[in-house]
Structure 1
Amino acid sequence: MDNKLSNSGPPMRKALVIRHVHFEDLGAFADPIEAAGYRIRYHEAGLDPWQGEAFAEADLTVVLGGPVGAYEDALYPFLADEREGLRRRLSAGRPTLGICLGAQLMASALGARVAPGPAKEIGWAPVALTEAGRAGPLRHLDNVPVLHWHGDGFACPAGAERLASTEICPNQAFALGSHALGFQFHPEADGRGFERWLIGHAVEIAGVPGLSVADLRADAQRLGPTASEAGRRCIAEWLAGLGR
């Protein structure tokens, strides 16, 4: 037998991940993305030179969260590049995933409004799934407390399906066909790296009445393992359905 042939296999697909702050990474999503045959490469927003061609051609693009507003182009010019890249990917039907700021940029690229919400939503709590949400990959998150960390929100884009909501934030997730998925909350978060969130967001935590570092840490230790396992199952099912 030819050893070269026996070692052959499908080419590794490329996943380009836009990261805005170092501690908000793929988290629990990394393993299922790699298991689905993707090689992960991070692009550090605002630091790495923008590569529009790589963004457009990646087999999967993931845009992660961050503490800036999706509408703050004047302060953070790299947002305009990300939004335009997302507009092109979404119009072409390319597999695209957005989390928190990433989902807001996706919504904005699709013409939906992004603006501050009525209050900040920070902590671990379940989302209410719509009928469409219960019928798809988000079913794994039903009644599972997940991490929320946002002050802004988005309107559900035209042509997209709303998948989840909370009392404070009526649009917590949306899907555009089978190729695009946006989360306002953080299903990728788990308890293992959560201390970095507490350090990185220390000023914000101190400025929100009723929030406690100790309580957030305890909730992450108690709820993070279940949430991360549900998040892994959710994203694995979504990846398996790409192109259907």
Structure 2
Amino acid sequence: MLPIAIVQHVANDGPSFFATWCAQQQLPVQVYAMHDGATLPPSMAGHSGLCILGGPMSANDPLPYFPQLFALIREAIALDRPVIGHCLGGQLISRALGGTVQASEHAEIGWSSLRSTDAALANEWFGPDTEPVFFQWHGESFSIPAGAQQVLTGAHCRNQAYVLNNRHIGMQFHCEVDEAKVREWIIDGHQEMQERNSPGVQRAEAILPTLSADIAASQVLASRIYTRWARGLQR
């Protein structure tokens, strides 16, 4: 089977549980560490799917590799090779498809309870939980691109997830987190957590006491998302 291409933008936002899940399913992956000087593949010919991770930059920034990444996203979709975007990744997919990225209604840091906007589609991708809880860390959000269907919404940020052609998914949240990643982010982003004046921002003391249990519950949901997404992989 061809490997899944994973685009990583920064050192502290790696594939984490997504990579763990792929290893459990014996799905090969190839990480393109853009922060470490990697070059994106010229096409999707050598990959079964495309996973795009998060990062602190804006999807509107003029990063030199963004135009090629937009082209890869559009190629993958044209070839029906599944694309999945986490946070910045979901924003980049939206932009590649003609959507926009702008300041979110409220910044979000920490756990957020969401609700479905399309019950049947949400059940297919996220399972029967009508108010799934995911970890967030963002100040911008995407519009729902043309042809895609909104699946989840939230109290502090309206557009939380969309599905395109029932094969590709863009998410504003971080379902790929593991405990180590969240703990690292809390250390690295401590000042941001203190300075953000938003009803969607939690402090470290609200996150850390139940982190292990919350991560376990999140990864159950993430496994459902990844299992549904992986049905479209070119095997």
Superposed counterparts of 1:127-206, under 5 Å: 127-130=114-117, 131-139=119-127, 142-206=130-194
Of 206, 212, 218, the match for 2:209: 218
Larger-gyration structure (1/2): 1
Of 78, 98, 122, the match for 1:111: 98
Q: Distance in 2 between matches of 1:241 and 1:46?
A: 29
Asked whether the 8 Å contact 1:141–1:231 carries over to 2, the reply is no
Give the match for residue 219 of structure 2.
Answer: 228
Give the match for residue 109 of structure 2.
Answer: 122
Q: Distance in 1 between matches of 2:219 and 2:191?
A: 26
What TM-score comes out, normalization by structure 2 length? 0.87
Give the match for residue 27 of structure 2.
Answer: 38
Asked whether the 8 Å contact 2:51–2:85 carries over to 1, the reply is yes
Report the residue type matching 1:40 in the other structure. Answer: V
Q: Distance in 2 between matches of 1:242 and 1:47?
A: 27
Report the residue type matching 1:179 in the other structure. Answer: R
Give the match for residue 7 of structure 1.
Answer: none
Q: Distance in 1 between matches of 2:34 and 2:128?
A: 31
Deviations 1:48-106, CA, capped at 9 Å, x for gaps = 34233255531111000001100011xx3222222222122223322111110001000
Shift of 1:13: 2.7
Asked whether the 8 Å contact 1:127–1:143 carries over to 2, the reply is yes
Q: Does 1:57 align with 2:43?
A: no
Q: Distance in 1 between matches of 2:45 and 2:155?
A: 36
Deviations 1:165-184, CA, capped at 9 Å, x for gaps = 10222211111113311111
Of 48, 64, 68, the match for 2:37: 48
Where 1:51 maps in the other structure, the secondary structure is coil
Give the match for residue 6 of structure 1.
Answer: none
Give the match for residue 20 of structure 1.
Answer: 9
Q: Distance in 2 between matches of 1:122 and 1:41?
A: 29
Shift of 1:241: 5.0
Equivalent pairs, count: 230
Where 1:204 maps in the other structure, the secondary structure is helix
Q: Distance in 2 between matches of 1:141 and 1:85?
A: 33
Superposed counterparts of 1:84-103, under 5 Å: 84-103=71-90
Give the match for residue 239 of structure 1.
Answer: 230
Q: Distance in 2 between matches of 1:114 and 1:155?
A: 6
Report the residue type matching 2:153 in the other structure. Answer: S
- Percent identity of equivalent pairs: 25
**Once superposed, what is the RMSD of the aligned Cα atoms?**
2.2
Gaps of 5+ in 2: none
Q: Residues 13 and 52 (structure 1 numbering): CA distance in 2 closer, same or farther, change over 3 Å?
A: closer
Q: Residues 83 and 21 (structure 1 numbering): CA distance in 2 closer, same or farther, change over 3 Å?
A: same
Shift of 1:219: 4.2
Gaps of 5+ in 1: 1-11
Report the residue type matching 1:81 in the other structure. Answer: Q
